[in-house]
Amino acid sequence: MNLNNTWITGSLDGQTMRAYLTQPAASGDTPLPTVLVIQEVWGVDEHIQDMANRFAMAGYQAIAPDLYSLGETPEALSLPRIGAVKRFLDTVPPQAWVDPKVRDQHIDKLPPDEAKTVRETLGILFSPRDNQRLVDQLKVWCDYALQHGRDVVSIGYCMGGQLSFLLATQEPRLKAAVCNYGTAPQESNMANIQAPVYGFYGGTDHRITDEVPKVAESMKKQGKTYHYKIYDEAGHAFFNDSRASYDVNAARDAWARTLAFFNDVLQG
């Protein structure tokens, strides 16, 4: 399928930001529902652009906001620098992802210049985020979607999954939200959710998945629609086919369920 791909710009509080936009070339001027594809911590890299393209090939307009681009993307968060960090993390044991001391031991083995840039980028990527500021950006892209199409749904992966769920607590125009292996919002914020939410999780991703039954109970208690699916053999980031974490069976099933979910909501 031929797609029309481009980068578009928006603004928040006088600062510019950008997003990747894609849609079927053959759709012409037909207004399309929009899928907001919300990035992992790695930014709008090839994987996130590919996911946006997949939604476009399914008949949607897809927008993948670059959440690091507000004002100006720091050099430390440029895609080449993040790519170098991903390659580094592929060479270290799993505990280095969560234990800064172990991570530093492996960074110290790198050549000095490389060690400096990897440590700087990791420091930013793994530092606390201002999620509210990121949601504010997503609201602007909801505005854009509704001005240039019809209806808007969201889906996110890891960090983006958390933001997709959080966006549902603040954006009443959202028709549906999908959270892939992201943490849920505070229970007190769930009362504001108007859209149905679907969560997909890896069974071995205990830090996030072990909380899912509590999330389901909280959503049920507040009368909210929450579906979830746990893939027992999959881990975190099972959707990312550019990483060792990719699980083809979980990804295939979650993709089919996501498309069916969006279709049911938008056709309802």
Question: Which of 47, 66, 142, 236 is the catalytic position?
Answer: 236
Residue that has been written with the tokens 């909380």 in this structure = 211
Report CA torsion sign: 266, 197, 50, 4: positive
Give yes or no: 205 in active site: yes
Q: Specify whether the CB–CB gap between 96 and 103 falls below 8 A.
A: yes
Q: Which of 29, 59, 63, 60 is nearest to 48 (CA)?
A: 63
Choice among 142, 158, 179, 247 that is catalytic:
158
Helix, strand, or coil here: 140?
A: helix
Distant-in-sequence, close-in-space partners of 145: CB < 8 Å, separation ≥ 6: 34, 36, 61, 63, 152
Q: Which of 66, 151, 205, 247 is catalytic?
A: 205
* Residue 158 annotated in active site: yes
Catalytic center residues: 158, 205, 236
